[in-house]
Amino acid sequence: MHWRKPRRLLFLCASLDLSACLILAALLDQTRRTDLLGQPRWLIAFALLYLLFGWLFGTYTVLRWPWLRLRLVILRLMITALATMLVVALMDWLFNLPVGLYLSHRSTQTFLLGSLTVWALLVRLGLRWLGRHSPQRDWGLMATPHEAPAILREWQRTPFAVTPRVLTPAGHAFPPGGVVLGSDLRLAPDQEHQLQILGDNGVPITTVIELAERELERLPPALLPADWLSQADIPWSDTFSVQRQLKRVADVVVAVLLLVVCLPVMLLAALLIWLEDRGSVFYVQERSGWMGHTFRLLKLRTMTRADPNAPASWTLPGDCRITRVGQLLRRVRLDELPQLINVLKGDMSLIGPRPERPEFEAELEIHIPHYRKRHWMRPGLSGWAQVCAPYAASLEEAELKLSYDLYYLHNWSTALDLLILIKTIKIILKAGGR
C-alpha cells in the first residue's frame, strides 16, 4: 500500500531509539553494576513509554519537517524525556516500587534519558540531512495547458510533496527522473515515440492519478475522469470478504467496550453541559449515511441552543456558538462518543468517511465531482480525511477532504483502518480536535 512508504522512516528511527535504550542499559550495567538487562519487562516498558511520548510530542514528525528549527527539535526531545521521567516518578509514588528496581532510581533515569536525548538528536539530524541531500525523483509533467495548473496546484497544497516540473515540447528529448502523463493529454506520434524511447531506457512513466495516489496519499476529484471507479471496484464491495466481516465485528466489540469504559466520562460531560446553560445534553442531527440514506446522528451538544428553523451553516474557527464546555469536548473529541450508539445500530462504522449534513451535500455534489462516491462505505467516527486534513469549513476544504475519502475508498484495508485508529488516538491525546 502507498501509505506504508512515508512511515518506514518513522519505524527506522523508533527502532534506532529502542536499540540505543538497550545498549545504554547494558553500558550502565557494566559501569555502575546495575542489572537493568536482568529486569527486561521493566526496561522494555520504560523504552516503549519513551517511544510513546516521542510519538505524541512529534519527535518523529520532525523527520518529515526539514525546515523545523534546531531549537524546536531539541525542545521536543527534552519534553519527551521529562514526560517519561515524570510518569516513572508518578508510578513510584503511587505503587511504592521496590528499591531493587533500578529504573526507579533518579540517577539511572537521568543517565538513560540524557543519553537517549543526545542520541535521538544525532539520529534525527543525520536522517534529516540524508533526506535533504538524497536525490529526489525529478518528475516531468506532460499535460495540456488547461490541465497542468490544476495538477501543480494539488501538489503545492500537499505538504512534503515534490512538485513535478512541466515539460516543454523541446524538453521532451531530455529524460527526467520520470514522466507523468495528464489525464486529458493526447500524444502526437513523435511524442509517443519519445516516450517509448524513455521507457526502453528505464525511465518510469506513470499517470497523474497513479502518482497522486502514491505520493499525495489522496485522489483529487478534479483530476479524475468521469468514469473513474465503479462501486464494484472498491475493496469493501465484496460482501463476503473476511476483511469486511472483521470490520463489522470490530465495530461492535470496540463500540461496546468504549461505551462501558467511557460512560463515567460521558456522564460528567453531560453534567457540565447541563450546568453551563441548563439546555439539552444531546444534539441530534440528520446526516447522510451509506448509499445516501439519512440517519439521526447523536452528539453531546457543544453549541448554544439554536433556532430549529435557522439555515445550516459551516462551523468556523472561533465560532461564537461553541460553548466553553463544548470547546473542551471538541478538542478531545468527547462530543463524538454518543455516536458509538450509531455504530452499534449499523448506521456508522468506527472508521470511514465522516457523514455530512444533507443540506450541505446538495451544494457540494453540484460543485465537486465524484462526491456521491463517499457514500459507498458506511460513514465513520473517524477517517483518513479527518486524520490527514483540517476541519472543512468551505467548498475548497470540502474538496480537499473528499480527495482523502476517495483514496480511502480505493485503498481500504484492515491495516489502513488500524493506522487511522492510531492517528485518531494521537489527536485525542494531544487534544488536537476542533
Residue bearing cell 439539552: 280
Note the pLDDT of residue 81.
96
Co-location of 41 and 166 in the same domain: no
Co-location of 359 and 383 in the same domain: yes
Position 256 in a domain: yes
Question: 42: which 3 cell numbers?
Answer: 521493566
Note the pLDDT of residue 43.
94
Co-location of 190 and 288 in the same domain: no
Co-location of 293 and 411 in the same domain: yes
Position 290 in a domain: yes
Q: What is the C-alpha separation between 206 and 3, in angstroms, rounded?
A: 18
Kindly tell me the burial class for residue 259, based on how many C-beta atoms sit within 10 Å of its own C-beta (0-12, 13-18, 19 or more).
Answer: middle
In three-state secondary structure terms, 239 is coil
Co-location of 272 and 374 in the same domain: yes
Note the pLDDT of residue 287.
93
Position 127 in a domain: yes
Position 232 in a domain: no
Position 230 in a domain: no
Number of domains within the chain: 3
Count CB atoms within 10 A of the CB of residue 394: 10
Co-location of 159 and 180 in the same domain: yes
Co-location of 65 and 160 in the same domain: no
Co-location of 255 and 368 in the same domain: yes
Note the pLDDT of residue 64.
73
Note the pLDDT of residue 310.
59
Co-location of 324 and 253 in the same domain: yes
Position 29 in a domain: yes
51 with 17: CB under 8 angstroms?
yes
Question: 351: which 3 cell numbers?
Answer: 472508521
Co-location of 245 and 353 in the same domain: yes
Q: Where a domain ends, among 133, 158, 189?
A: 133
Closest CA to 354 of 367, 336, 331, 368: 336
Q: Where a domain ends, among 95, 118, 133?
A: 133
**What value does the CA radius of gyration of the chain take, rounded to a whole number of Å?**
25
Cα 175–180–184 angle (5° rounding)?
A: 130
Q: What is the C-alpha separation between 296 and 287, in angstroms, rounded?
A: 6
Position 108 in a domain: yes
Maximum Cα interatomic distance, the chain, rounded to a whole number of Å? 80
Note the pLDDT of residue 363.
86
Co-location of 119 and 143 in the same domain: no
Q: Which amino acid belongs to residue 61?
A: T
Position 225 in a domain: no
Q: Where a domain ends, among 159, 185, 216?
A: 216
Query: Tens of pLDDT along the chain (434 residues)?
Result: 555 566 788 888 999 999 999 999 999 999 988 899 999 999 999 999 999 999 989 898 877 776 678 888 999 999 999 999 999 999 989 888 888 888 889 999 999 999 999 999 999 998 888 877 777 778 888 888 888 999 999 998 887 788 888 886 555 555 567 888 888 877 777 777 777 877 778 888 889 999 999 889 999 999 999 889 899 889 988 888 899 999 999 999 999 999 999 999 999 999 999 988 888 899 898 999 999 899 999 999 988 876 555 566 666 666 678 888 888 888 888 889 999 999 999 999 999 999 998 888 888 898 999 999 999 999 999 999 999 987 777 888 899 999 999 999 999 999 999 999 999 988 888 765 55
Angle subtended by helix axes 40-56 and 8-32, to nearest 10: 140
Domain range for residue 202?
A: 139-216
Which residues, 6+ apart, have CB-to-CB distance to 291 below 8 Å? 375, 376
Co-location of 123 and 36 in the same domain: yes
